[in-house]
């Protein structure tokens, strides 16, 4: 039996994508060759990369607006330093909303002065800071749109003339936004787009080429743009599966369509958490993530029963991150509404038992 997969990442992908990906590993589109044994310079793969890059910009509504989409390696974690390497001349601002922001800050500090413009660290990152003022002399302001570990999500982005850089690893393609407010968006594939192994980087081209330092080729966005994201051998499998997932999303009706489903899933679990005295939510209500719902059990004596019930129902991956504890239900694009229904039924059954 297929499990209800609430894993935080790597995580659930659409069934149809998995099937097609599995087939392509054996034989790509009747070519007599496997996806992973052909040259990345073959016409078939060049087309796959082009489709993936086009789909990414299309889904975000950024095609024809001066942006380029790249599929790079090294995870979102490499972008923590890459962003600074390419953009940081003197000073950059960071909004510190959790573990991933902190890691981004640590890397950027190697390249210039970092201003922590706002932070929710004093409350273990259970909310999103608001109403802060942004210095005007920053090379860029860095945000984490969705805090995978703490279950908070930025609902309103700051308006500023400072270029915005956003780590969207765990909510890319999940909700409608005016993506043109960002100058760089990056996202590790394995949360909402594909398997681990590639990172989508969407860059506004006119932002580049302004720092005085020399940039090694592999870290230089301009080099990757100049080579159509094929400067070196790309992670062909990860790019292919990401392409399939983006195609799946486009066929569904794009971000607007999936946003509706994501809202239903989030409403379902959060209303249960609010009404059910056995559970309490971790994140501030107005900042709760539609992707990762974090919650605790209020009566520890019920924990064992709850875990056992979840296991029996085939629920996978809801243990919270060690820095928050409790539970975390990740509800990425490919997670069906029914899976959330199964979890919520167990939560209310536990209340009746408890
Ligand atoms: C998972 C995650 C990362 C780290 O991604 P890697 O690809 O493992 O480097 C960074 N930022 C956010 C918001 C994440 O959820």
Report mean pLDDT in 10-residue bins for the chain, 354 residues: 94 97 98 97 98 98 98 98 98 98 98 98 97 98 98 98 98 98 98 97 97 98 98 98 98 98 98 97 98 96 97 96 95 98 98 88
Ligand 1: which atom is nearest the Cα of residue 188?
Answer: 7
Model pLDDT, residue 354: 76
Answer yes or no: is the C-beta of 9 below 6 A from any ligand 1 atom. yes
2 inside domain: no
Model pLDDT, residue 53: 98
Predicted model pTM: 0.98
Specify the CATH number for the domain of residue 184: 3.40.640.10
Model pLDDT, residue 317: 96
297 Cβ contact partners less than 8 Å away, ≥ 6 residues apart? 278, 279, 303, 306, 326, 327
Model pLDDT, residue 50: 98
44 Cβ contact partners less than 8 Å away, ≥ 6 residues apart? 28, 29, 31, 38
Query: Token pair of 222, please?
Result: 């301009």
Q: Are residues 146 and 24 in the same domain?
A: yes
Query: Token pair of 100, please?
Result: 């991933």
Q: Which of 252, 286, 304 is the last residue of a domain?
A: 252
Distance CA 70, CA 232 (A): 12
- What is the DSSP secondary-structure string of 246-305? HHHHHHHTHHHHHHHHHHHHHHHHHHHHHH-TTEEESS-GGGB-SSEEEEEES-GGGHHH
Q: Are residues 189 and 336 in the same domain?
A: no
10 alpha carbon, distance to own chain's centre = 11
Place of tokens 């009566």: 299
**Domain interval for residue 336:** 254-353
Burial class (CB in 10 A: 0-12, 13-18, 19+), 278: buried
Ligand 1: which atom is nearest the Cα of residue 199?
Answer: 7
Angle at 18 between CA 26 and CA 203, to 5 degrees: 105
Number of domains in the chain: 2
Q: Are residues 214 and 318 in the same domain?
A: no
Model pLDDT, residue 1: 77
Which residues are catalytic, by number?
100, 167, 191
Model pLDDT, residue 4: 98
Model pLDDT, residue 353: 87
DSSP one-letter code for 204: E
Answer yes or no: is the C-beta of 192 below 6 A from any ligand 1 atom. no
Name the closest-CA residue to atom 5, ligand 1: 76
């Amino acid at each position: 039996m297929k499990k209800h997969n609430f894993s935080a990442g790597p995580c659930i992908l659409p069934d149809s994508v998995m099937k097609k990906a599995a087939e392509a590993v054996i034989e790509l589109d009747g070519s007599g060759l496997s996806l992973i044994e052909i040259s990345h310079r073959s016409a078939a793969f060049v087309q796959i990369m082009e489709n993936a890059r086009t789909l990414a910009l299309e889904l975000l509504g950024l095609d024809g607006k001066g942006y380029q989409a790249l599929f790079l390696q090294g995870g979102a974690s490499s972008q923590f330093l890459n962003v600074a390497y390419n953009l940081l001349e003197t000073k950059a601002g960071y909004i510190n909303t959790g573990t991933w922001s902190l890691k981004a800050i640590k890397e950027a500090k190697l390249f210039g002065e970092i201003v922590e413009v706002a932070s929710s660290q004093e409350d273990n990152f259970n909310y999103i800071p608001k109403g802060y003022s942004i210095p005007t002399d920053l090379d860029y302001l860095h945000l984490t749109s969705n805090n995978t570990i703490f279950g908070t999500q930025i609902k309103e982005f700051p308006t500023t003339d400072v270029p915005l850089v956003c780590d969207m690893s765990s909510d890319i393609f999940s909700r409608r936004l005016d993506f043109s407010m960002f100058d760089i968006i990056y996202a590790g594939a394995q949360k909402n787009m594909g398997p681990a192994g590639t990172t989508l980087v969407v860059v506004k081209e006119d932002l580049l080429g302004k720092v005085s330092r020399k940039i090694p080729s592999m870290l230089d966005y301009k080099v990757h743009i100049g080579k159509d994201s094929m400067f070196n051998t790309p992670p062909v499998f990860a790019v292919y599966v990401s392409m399939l997932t983006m195609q799946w999303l486009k066929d569904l009706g794009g971000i607007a369509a999936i946003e509706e489903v994501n809202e239903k899933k989030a409403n379902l679990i959060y209303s249960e958490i609010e009404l059910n005295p056995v559970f309490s939510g971790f994140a501030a209500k107005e900042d709760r993530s539609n992707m990762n719902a974090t919650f605790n059990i209020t009566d520890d004596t019920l924990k064992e029963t709850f875990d056992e019930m979840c296991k029996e129902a085939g629920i996978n991956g809801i243990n919270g991150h060690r820095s928050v504890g409790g539970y975390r239900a990740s509800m990425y694009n490919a997670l069906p509404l029914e899976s959330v229904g199964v979890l919520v039924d167990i939560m209310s059954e536990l209340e009746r038992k408890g």
